[in-house]
Each structure stands twice: as C-alpha cells, then as structure tokens.
Chain A
C-alpha cells in the first residue's frame, strides 16, 4: 500500500500484528488449555457480580454440604414444601426482593455460613488483581536492575548481584513472614513483599539475557553513534529480550498466586472479610477432616489458575521454538 503522491508507504496496523501473534498459540494444545483456564478465571472475575449466586460475606447456613438447596428464611412460606418449588414460586410471583434469597450451595458453605462458590468467585477478583500487579511491580524493579548490571558490568554488576544474592539466599517464606509481620497485613504490603522477594530473580534472568545481547553488532553500532547508556539499554537491548521475559512473567504470576495463597494460609494475607482463597483455606483447615469441602475447593481453584498460567507459558515457549 503506497501513497503514491509522496512515495511514502503506509504503516501496517500494530494491533493486527499483535492479534496474529496471539493466534499462533493455536498450534500448541498445551498453550490452548492454559489460555482457556486463564481466560475462564478472568471471565469469572469480571462477571463475578452476575455469576455468584450469593453474597460472599453473608452468613447463611453454616457447614452446609455441597449441593444443599437454600431458601431465605424471610421468604420461606411452607417448611414442608421442597425448596425448588418454593423458589420457583417466588420467582414466578416476582416477590423475590433479593437475588440471593433462593439458590443452591453448589460447593457448600463454610463454618460461618458463607457460600463457598460465591467466595471463590469473588476471591478470583482479589487474586487476579493483586497477583499481576505484584508481578508487574517486581518487573518494574527487577528489569532496570538487570539491565544496569548486565550492560554496565564492573562495579555496578558487582553490587547489584551481591544485593540480589543476599535477598535470594533468604528462605522466601521467612522473608515474607518477616516483612508482613513487621509492617502489617494489607494489600499494599503484600505487593511490596512480593516485589522485594521476586525482583532479584527477575534481575538475574534479565542480566543473563543482557549479557548475551550486549555483544550484538547493533548495540556496538549504537555505541559508535554515541547513544547514551539508558537509551541503549531500554531501546536497543530490552525489546530483544521480551520473548523469554513474557514467558517468565506468566510462570511468575502463577508463583505469586501461590505465594498470596500461602500468605493467606499463614494468616498474613488480606484481612477478613475479603474473600481470599488462601485465607479461606486457613480459616477452615481445622475442620478439614470432617468437612473437606471447605478446604478442597479453594485449593482446586488455586491449582487450576496456576496450572493455567504455567501451561500458557509452556505453550508460548513451545510455539516460539518451533520453526
């Protein structure tokens, strides 16, 4: 497509190129499964209000088994009638005032009486906001460190690598416990803690990539033009490292999800009553032997989402390596 008057061709759409890149993923079955799982949870998180049958924080019937039907006490008219009949009547007559009046506890309720399915659905929002956010912050810190260490080498590399090694040598969980216990549990502190613990690992990966890329001739060409260091790092080197970094970010989000879950499990997660998968497991674990449904379902939720990210990363790696 050429604009013949000026002889200058039109720019092809960047969005089109992006979409074409995504569609390549179709070639990998593993990647497709991963993408499906991630998109599923994303969908759930976005439409949580519509999908969830109950209010996640409202205590209703404690310790109900999965599949129990429920009719709100206020609207229960005849105790002997089966709930389904009552519920359908309510809806037909249009007297149901609250959408949560009638429904089924598909996954049961916890010890306080909150519907587990609704808590899982709303909990996905928490996870899918904070995990990518924390990962992004970790990258925001780790990537410049890695770039500086890999490109400048020498003293800069020495100091940064030493700092990274010190942080990495801490047992991760201990590090989290120390930070959260010291600063208190809040969403912000969790993001900071995750950033602090993940950035050194990212720095190492980026540093490795940069050490290889800085020897390329186009970097040398940029140096002969007198380009400033920051420009070479950000514009010449970093875009060429994006492949492995994208794959790593997917895997890392998975790890962060587990981390947030663990923090929740340790009681250091988001304070209640926000539904948080890890917190759900923590609150209900004492009764796990007798009422397994309360712990198992949040576990499955965490596992499936992490698996989704991992498979997606695998798929992307597989596709990028193929001819």
Chain B
C-alpha cells in the first residue's frame, strides 16, 4: 500500500511548552525548558545557540528518539495534528524516514560502511512504500542527480569511503529526501566540511527547500549559515529560547542581550576592526542544575536588574509591529541599543620588529613505496606525496601571519616541518638566523624548542587527562630549562595561569574538570611557558563556541602584545583571519597561491581560489551581498597533482590550456602582495569585489577595510 502523504492543512509541527530532561547518575538534568515552535508547510526555521543550549536535544525529541536516559517531561510535540508521544513504536517507525527525516553532522558516521550507497538509498522507498527494486533504483539515481552529484550511476555502486566528505553529505541529504518528507531536520550538517564544500551544500539545501516545499528545521551555531538558509530563527540559551522572529528582524533589530552578545562576538568582514571590536560575553554558561532563578542569562547580562531579572520564570514577550517577534526579556523595552557601547578587545596596533622567520622554497615530499609487482615492472616504485611545494614567506617580530586553506592544502605538514616533527625535503626555514629545516626536534636545543611552540586545534585532547594541569605545565617549564628549582617552577606555573586568566587552583585540577575554553587557555599557557618568539596556532579556536572563541582570541592577542611574539595563525575561518592577521598566506594543494597584507588579499586583485574562498564564507550580516562562486569537482589527489597550475581543474576563471601545462608565475600586484596566476594582473584588478555592503543610502560599497 503506497503511503499517501495527506495534504495537511495547518501547521506541520507544533511544539507546545516542551520540557525535556536527562536522567543521569547525578539526578534529573533539565535540558530544555518551555520550548515553543510552530512550523507551517514550506517554512524553514533555524535553531541557533552554543553547545549545551539544547538544540540537538530538541531535534531528538521531535524524532521521539531520546535514548535510554532522556525523556519528555512536559508539553507536547504535535506532528500534523497527532501527538507523537502517544504513538506506538510501529507508527513512529512509519513516520521516521518517511515523513520526518534527519540529516546529521558526520556524514561518514551516518552511512553504513559495509553497504553500497545504492542499497542504502534504495532502502528508503523499499521500506516505506510499495515499489519494486527497479523503481527504487531509478528514484535513487534521480535523487542523486537532483543533489548535483556527478555520475550518479557510479556513486550508486560505490561504498561510502570511496567518495569525499562533501559528496557523502549530499548522499545523506538525498536519502533524507527520497521519500519526500514533510519535515526535514538538519543538525549541523556542514560543520565537518570545508568552507567551499559547505557553500555548495548550503546552496543545495536552499534549493531543495524551494523545490520540494519541505519544511525544515536547521540547527547550527553559525549565524551566517542561518542567514543563508532560513526564514525564521530561534536563538537558544541554556535550554530556553530567548528570541524568536524572522531572520531579518532578529539580525537587524535584535532585542535580547544574549543575541546582541552573540553578534558582538562574531568578526564580520564588513566591520572595521577599530570601529567594531570583538566583544566577548563575560562569565560562563551555567551548568544545567546550577541555573539561576529568573533569567538564565542574568549573571552575564549588562542590563541585569535585581528584582526584575532574577525572580520567577520568564515568558516570551511580543514585540509589537513586527511579524511574530518574541523575546524572553523583562527589560527589553527599556534597553536603548543605540547608546550601548561595550568595551571590546583592544585593537591597539603593535609595531612590528625585525624579521624573525624566513622560509625559502621549502618543499616537503613524503615517500610512498609501492611494493607491488605491477609498480616494479612499471618502474615507479617510489611515489611522492607532494605535501608542500616551494613555500616562501617571511614573518617579523610581533606580526600575525595567517595561513589559510582547506583540508589537504598542506598546512598541517607545514606546521610539522616548523616544529621539527618532519624535516624539509628541500629549501630552508631560517628562524632567528639559523636554518632549522634539517633539524628534527630531538636534535634541537631545549631553548630553541621552547622559543618555537604550538597551540593545537582540539582543546578536548590537547591535555593529558591523567595528569593535573599544574604538573603538565611544570613539566614543560622544566623541559625548556626556564626554571629548575621546584619552588620557582611552582611560581612560574601560577604566573602562567594568571597570564591566561584562569584561577590558581586550576593547577590542582584534572583536565576533565575544565571546559573546552579553559582547556584551550591551558594549552596557550603551555605554549607560552618557554617565552617563545614564534607560536604556531593550528586552528586554536575552531572547536570552541562562538562566545568562547572571542575570549580566547582576545587572550592570544593580548599575550602576543605583551611578549611581542610572532604568531602563525592557521585557520580556515576567513572572518577571524581578517580580524586578527597582518599578513595572509593562502594555500591550495601544497602551493601558496596568494600572499600579502590582509587588506590587499581581501580586495581585488584576487587569485581565483581566494575569490572562491571569500564567497564561500557565511557572513551573518543582512546588508552584505556576496558573489556566488561554487567550485565544481573535488580536490585532486596529492599524489597526482595536476600539471601546471594546481587549481586548474576547478578554477572558474581558467584561461585555457596554458593553465594545464605551465606553472603559474608569481606576479606582484603591490609590494609584498603576490598572486600566482596566469591571468594578467590588470585583468584581475578589474574584477568586482566579492563582498559588497549595502549602506543605509542604498549604495553598494566594497566591505569596509
């Protein structure tokens, strides 16, 4: 019996006063409180918030998939008039995948690695509808074409590990859409993907929402993505919705202090660093069982008023004259946003010193020996993974140089060569006058190691969970020969904790008792233990929440200012790079494609890859218009890089066959600004800027510098 999707008049989904709790060893933890949502056909709503705010919990509750220790303790979830809590398991099974679908964060974890993609896709119609296998195959192939996967027939026959991350996510979206669901839930679907891939997926989602008229709930922590995909947005904080309204209203005329704080933490490319510095939100997210009475955001709010804000429980207040804009704040009418000028991070410009680091034509090739007979006969037993190819740039004292690129561009290899975990195949890395490219770390003197340190990406893994924070810092201090007497080491540990603004008794704590942001601060303290003159920061804030990112970024900048350290900041977050960096180096497949001062790189002339990167970054500003450039194809294999220009297989501005045969020349557009491209520099100068801002008068100007 083919399931008939009854055309339902009325809201597809209604959540009324939904309360969800987890039941753990420590008791009941209320995860979500008083959640309300009305979703009509064709709507797309965004749920935005930081980790721990309960947005994924809401999605799980809608699917009635709470797991062993979670449960809905109040309110209702009504789908097309039916209360989902009252349905049996069998009825829920018929709904899931069929009428309500979900797309998760990790595409590799969502696909079964031991089944072909075709079989997995076909499962959807075969399970829920009465179709033959042939029909299921046809529909699956058609859907793969709809999600813009090239060569659907080949993909149907492949296994998940044979396609890239972006393609896997497209397959997952195809699976979710195959049965033409009425409701699509997307839980951070692009977090695990590169920026350019993300742009493609975001565009796809917008497209299908229109085409299939599916209602969508999009969960993310990235406000720029919400702007690109949703009509309405709900901002969540610590389990409650604090503001709800259309995207335009919430983004332009926000009313809740938390929303304002969130926007203040995000570096917008349209913002001048000096006119609009980053403002971190002070304080910390309260633990679920330690929420304050009244407004949960109260302790961190600049407008907190004793007696008004900390009594009873707050309700959503309506903002008149606006389309269904509600805010959970008692004082929203009194707050005058125009006069609110919070103190942001210092934007003092530091004077740069002498050259500290000079990298000349550094190459790093990894050898792969193929021991098969076929390779022996063909004569190419040894193949090279060309991870880094002719890297050249310079860095001065107290300068911040950002290295930008996506996965596979060679930035981690570059960091490893710098730190001495690998030795360069060719070229030189001159640090403070001596060439370190051939010195593995075991051969380096302790003070050299101490003067070149690294801050790592994943704060959750960066500290050893079995040792206390203090002992780990003490070890580093001893290793670098900074101090040797136990008392003085102890003092130095305390000084370091003060430096990163952590309380001194953290020295006795184990890492599991610290939050992500606090762990990253300890990671920074560890890197600065030896008074380094160069710190390589490998995506130090990308794994952190937005508000914490601003605070930790500010900390890094402060320390750099005090110690005059050179900072090599590896990142893919172009907005943050624009805010922080003095110079930018853009890498693609092991090559540097563009480098220069930040302002120069972010304005024309652009290298085509830089242009595509800039257009891919989601920006949470309604007045910005971006050029739409979507890169086709996949990153080429590093073992078999394209001849000529590495970017020629995907370049939207490919000139002709010269791009495939000749290595592009390095052309200087301005002193210090170098672009590696065959296109004449004058032509590149004429290109329109990627990011333009519509000012109040209605004119378009390039995003402010």
Contacts and interface: CB of A to CB of B under 8 A. Distances in A.
Physical interaction between A and B: yes
Given A216-B461, A224-B421, A323-B24, A7 B446 contact: no
Contact of A11 (B24, B419, B508, B523): B508
B402 to A, nearest CB: 20
A220 interface: yes
B444 interface: yes
Contact of B504 (A2, A218, A223, A242): A2
Interface string B72-107: 000000000000000000000000000000000000
B504 A221 contact: no
A322 B23 CA distance: 12
A18 B23 CA distance: 26
B479 A240 contact: no
A12 B508 contact: yes
A62 to B, nearest CB: 57
A8 interface: yes
Contacts, number: 68
B365 interface: no
A235 B464 CA distance: 9
A235 B419 CA distance: 22
A171 interface: no
Interface in B491-507: 494, 504-505, 507
Contacts of B454: 221, 224
Contacts of B507: 8-9
A218 B505 contact: no
A9 B504 contact: yes
Contacts of A240: 464-466
Interface in A194-235: 216-218, 220-221, 223-228, 235
A157 interface: no
B420 interface: yes
A11 B69 CA distance: 35
Interface in B21-43: 24-25
Given A217-B457, A218-B464, A221-B526, A226 B441 contact: yes
Contacts of A10: 508
A174 to B, nearest CB: 36
A223 B458 contact: no
A224 B453 contact: yes
A239 B461 contact: no
Interface string B446-473: 1001000110111001111111000000
Interface string B503-515: 0110110000000
Contacts of B480: 225
B216 interface: no
Interface string A287-317: 0000000000000000000000000000000
Contact of B456 (A11, A221, A227): A221
A69 interface: no
B129 interface: no
Interface in B147-171: none
Contacts of A236: 464
A242 B465 CA distance: 12
B465 A225 contact: no
Sort A-B residue pairs by CB-CB distance and give the 3 closest, nearest first.
A239-B466, A217-B461, A9-B505
Interface of A: 2, 7-12, 216-218, 220-221, 223-228, 235-236, 239-240, 242, 322-323
17 contacts: A9-B504, A9-B507, A218-B461, A221-B456, A221-B462, A224-B420, A224-B441, A225-B476, A225-B480, A226-B446, A226-B449, A227-B479, A239-B467, A240-B466, A242-B466, A322-B25, A323-B24
